[in-house]
Chains A and B, each alone.
Chain A
Amino acid sequence: MKNRTCFALTLALLLGSFLPACFVTAQEPHEIELLVAGTEVTDTFINLRDQEMRLSRADLAFGTLTLCPGSQAGALCTTARMEWLDSVIVDALDQNLKSAGTLTGVTGETLSWMYDLGFSSQLTQTKSFVLDAAEELGGYSCRVEGEYLREGIAIPFEANLIVQQTEETEQGMAVVRKSTSDSFSHLLTTSDQSLTVTFDPRVWFADSNMEEFLEDSTCMPEGPPIVCRGQIEERCDADGMISSTTNCTAQGQVCVKELGCQDKILIPDTSSTYRSLQGALVAGERPTFAFN
């Protein structure tokens, strides 16, 4: 009888060792929904350069997104608190929430974030991965269209931006990272259900200068072959004399510096406006992160 009891006790202990154990852990695996939204911008807005604009398109290839435990995302974010490795096109002019996917990770304090804009740089690759959203945008991180309102004239513009890490920058890191001056802190718990990231495209243009593409000049010796005198295109000969003029406005066009009459300003990647847009996307005013 004693032997049986002993055997049963031993067996119970051994079997017990295989039952699911209950461990007290400070962290738990957790998933939350990632929602993205834009900001409805129906009116014109004025940027820091007192330039008035109106936006008709602001599509952003958003993703990947990583939430980090440390206050500095980047190289110190070896282990993410949560991450989402997909990408989605955010219509930054649409304030309706859109589900982008699921953030997976663990609970705990998160003090920083970092995300890519359709291009994800890897330590092992010299070229970034082009994510689906960027593919859908024609290979761009961001496409914006709008009008620059100048002296009552609406000058359309378009910018197609690529924002990614290069060999000269920080390879292997997400391109947009919370800076130390940004305030972001949240204790992720299992009660968190979603994270909403809201973009306001107006801030992208905070420092853009559309005047860069406009001018009020005339032909002169050793000058460019095409100049804009306001909305009048002047073509210049070798001696700097006007050879022909065209009223762009009359053709429903806009006179763009060095290009003459164009349907719109196509912001080139060599321009300071392009760089300021890139800079605003990477380091400008941040989207808002809200946990629910």
Chain B
Amino acid sequence: MLHPPLLQKTSLALLLTVVIFPRSAIAQETAAPEIQAPTAPPTNPTNPAQDEEPQPDPTEDTPEQESKQTDEATEEEKPRPEEESESTPEPQVVPPTAIRHPAASYPNSELQPDVTPEELEKTTVLKVTVTASGHVSAIEVSQSAGPAFDKAALEALNQWEFSPALRNGKPVAAKILVPFHFHPPEAPEEEPPPEAKAQEVSEEKEAPQEVVLFGKRHLREENRSVSDFELTGEELRAAPRREGVDVLNSTPGLFMTRGEGPAVAHSYTLRGFDSDHGQDIEFKVGGIPINLPSHLHGQGYADLNFLIADTVEELHVSEGVYDPQQGDFAVAGSIDIDLGVDQSKRGVVARTSYGSFQTLDQLVLWAPKNSEEQSFGAAHYTQTNGFGEQRAGKTGSGILQQVWTLGDVQLRALGIIHAARADTAGVVRRDDIDSGKLCFHCAYPDPTAQEQNALNQRFLAGLFANYRGEKGESGEIGLWWSYDNFRIQENFTGYIHSSYVLAGVSGRGDLIGQQNQTLSLGLSGRHRTSQYRPAKWLSGTIEVGAAGRIDSIEQSQRLLDATVRQQTWDERVDARVHSMDVGFWGDVDGRIGRYTALRVGARADLISMTTEDRLGNFAPNTRPRDTYIIGYRRSAMGVAAGPRASVEVTPAHWISFLAAYGEGYRSPQARTVEDGENAPFTKVRSADLGLKLDGGDAFMLSLGGYFTQLSNDIAFDPVEGRMERVGASRRLGGQLFLRSRPAYWLLATGSITYVHATLLEPPPATADEPFPPFIEGSTLPYVPPLVARLDLAASHQLMQDLGTYPLLGKIGVGASALSQRPLPYGQTAIPFALLDASAELSWSVFDLKASFFNLLNTDYAAVEYNYASDWSPNDGVRTRTPARHIAAGSPFSWQISLGVRL
């Protein structure tokens, strides 16, 4: 209990030396010239009891900082501060600032009358971690003044609120030293007037202290266009997440659905690209590419179900293809997922969740406090009965990442293992739902539908090293390995297939069994020079890099008879594929004058593949089978090359205009490539134009338009259960993204993406569709013109002292909306909106959270197609006209979780 008369001056000051310190304890790197020194926390001279006060402008340099900056610039290269800020690739860092800082009390027990006033002067220094949300966590006593003083300091600091440290305007966690100086009351019986106390506090300025910023080491400029976004862990976890991969929901323009259960990759839609399972988005996790080339279930198949939300530190989203580092599948863009555990979430965490449909979820996280944010181990297990028929499943993931810093070099090892198996309900016809034959979340009762399921096993491992030299030069090298085993049984069409192999055999159910195994090995590396300055107004760095991967793929697709233990009754694919992609790039990151950044580069990829198609040349009607051996071996190679360029003009620190153009590519399904085909890849041309408004921590807004053209698009063909070519396409759209923190306790991000996606030419002719319908400006099927997303989090300390610990509360809201979207054959899918919400209480080591998903209990289709099927083989004549089919999305569900963090 604090006694007002005993309130004493507590002084604090935070730091004048700022050390960028990615993933390590105390970095030796020099301060960035742009780093702005923090000021002492503000005080209110007229009302010291007021805890929340206006935040001072952290950009005001103190004399000490100016001195520091001057010292660190060499005499030879010393630029004017503004010049350096234009040209340097160094990050801009603003340390945390206390915005609410109740004073500590001088402990009564320590007021000894027989000691001198000097002996009563005490100092306790606390090392405190300030989270990216500005909360205090992980306090340690760095310098003790005795238990009573330490306790008083700890009690006070626990109530502090900070404006978080900023790196390039983005909140990051930071570790700082906070000294508490205890001065004995001069006249305990007479409380000094508030003004006097405040004056005493404000006068106390401390010697420079260290600030340690956590997070990823900044090695190169990643942002190239108005459509580049960095989303922090705090933003990603603002809204409730049902599973780890749901952190991607906050990505502007992205909409994810799960139509085939937890053992199959999500279906992604990103700014006008129906990416199916990842064909148009280049995913990397911890630097390891996730997309699988020539995957039978979908080109660029990217299963992110191994993600554990608590271990996702940051998303870097690059929509469009403007960075030469972007490689295969960067068509709509790239999403790099950095793994790590924020300082505020670190510790040994055990969390159990239980929710609707008997869903049990268990997380164990090992992330020692005060160690590198990127070092952690986590294991996660989920089992559920699912929200309807045929949706039970189990998934398990383990992720281990360790970082070592050896001077300028940082080593990182990452291992991921994942397995999942789940039943899938498959699709059902909308007319069967409308007629009452099936409920919305039901599955067909036929054995061929009841045997739908999927299994995935994946192992990923990588070893990465990066360095950053004293002059800003940097480099990275990585070696990674991946094994993926995927198997699925699913039936889209009911009973319309006939056997190609067995004459006269048909109607046994179109249960497609796909098996795909991929073994991949990859290597990547790059080097960026230190800055060249050929002229006073011109500076820049040069990067060269290379990335390569080799994949060995075994794949098969068969029709299975569910009534006879999945007996094979037809073979559709039986192939072995070897593919290799080697890419080289160069990039110049230059500064022209004070306001302009120009980045110009190019990338070329050599793509080669061989296919042993064991069923190829299968032509029993034209030649007697005993005259040849079935099989078709073919190989192809091509070069995909293109420029990448962007320009950024920043006339003022709060506004920048960006334009970008780039050419990328997507590799083809190897089996679709003919022998000797010269340029089998899909060419992507992309352009962006827009502006960003940067209001510091308060808000960031980006508004832009974009254009993307593909030489050859692909879309899902439910009849064959795989992707098929649809021809050239174009997308023209715009995007608005807003990140705002109007108050320290409130965080909001939102985005609206509009796109007009059209086909430029008729789809390739086929035997059953020799003249594919096409008119100028035909809308691309499956692409929603509008996607909107809102994430909202509000957190506050509900009680300051509940059994010596504060009680923190947090609510989160996530809302997504998807507009109508065109389907083939002139149909339109129904729009829908989803609303999720959560409430969380944190006290001491405990976290209690209640999450609610699809609060409006919307019946929505996770995926919707329009094609011909026959799911009523005994009820009449088979229809061949297209019908709408859906895979239902999850209805309203809840989840309660209890976690312990030690």
The interface of chain A, by Cβ under 8 A from chain B, is: 10, 13-14, 16-18, 20-21, 23-29, 64, 66, 68-72, 75-80, 82-83, 85, 104-109, 111, 120, 122-125, 129, 131, 167, 171-172
Contacts and interface: CB of A to CB of B under 8 A. Distances in A.
A124 B873 contact: yes
B770 A80 contact: no
Contacts of B880: 66, 77-80, 83
23 contacts: A13-B786, A17-B786, A17-B788, A18-B817, A18-B833, A21-B828, A23-B820, A25-B778, A27-B825, A28-B826, A29-B826, A29-B827, A77-B768, A79-B769, A79-B880, A80-B868, A107-B773, A111-B770, A123-B497, A123-B878, A125-B873, A131-B877, A172-B878
Interface string B807-835: 00000000001111110111110010100
A88 to B, nearest CB: 14
B711 interface: no
Nearest to A75: B498
B743 interface: no
A13 B788 contact: yes
Given A24-B778, A78-B768, A79-B867, A16 B773 contact: no
A123 B510 CA distance: 11
Contacts of B498: 75, 123, 172
Nearest to B825: A106
A218 B778 CA distance: 76
Nearest to B773: A26
A107 B882 CA distance: 12
Given A21-B820, A29-B825, A70-B769, A83 B879 contact: yes
Given A17-B785, A17-B786, A109-B773, 5 more contacts: A27-B826, A29-B826, A123-B497, A123-B878, A171-B506
A99 B867 CA distance: 28
B778 A76 contact: no
Contacts of A25: 778-779, 822, 826
Contacts of A82: 881
Contact of B767 (A16, A17, A20, A76): A76
A25 B750 CA distance: 31
A186 B747 CA distance: 59
Interface in B741-794: 750, 752, 758, 767-771, 773-775, 777-779, 785-786, 788
Given A14-B817, A21-B820, A123 B507 contact: yes
Nearest to A25: B826
A28 B779 CA distance: 12
User: For the side of the interface on B, what is the size category?
Assistant: 35 or more
Given A18-B817, A64-B877, A79 B882 contact: yes
Interchain residue pairs A-B with the least CB separation, the first 10: A123-B507, A80-B880, A124-B507, A26-B773, A124-B873, A17-B819, A17-B786, A23-B822, A23-B779, A123-B506
A172 B817 contact: no
> In this complex, which of A10, A82, A124, A125 has the most chain B Cβ atoms within 10 angstroms of its Cβ?
A124
B874 interface: yes
Contacts of A66: 880
A69 B777 contact: no
B824 to A, nearest CB: 8
Contact of B881 (A83, A111, A172): A83
> In this complex, which of A24, A72, A83 has the most chain B Cβ atoms within 10 angstroms of its Cβ?
A24
B828 A111 contact: no
A110 to B, nearest CB: 10
Contacts of B874: 124-125
Nearest to B783: A23
A168 B567 CA distance: 23
A107 B825 CA distance: 8
Contacts of B827: 29
B147 interface: no
Contacts of A17: 785-786, 788, 817-820, 831
Contacts of A20: 820, 828
Nearest to B497: A123
B773 A171 contact: no
Contacts of B868: 78-80
Contact of B768 (A29, A79, A105, A106): A79
Interface in B233-267: none
Nearest to A116: B877
A24 B759 CA distance: 10
A24 B780 CA distance: 9
Contacts of A13: 752, 786, 788
B719 interface: yes
A108 B824 CA distance: 12
A14 B788 contact: yes
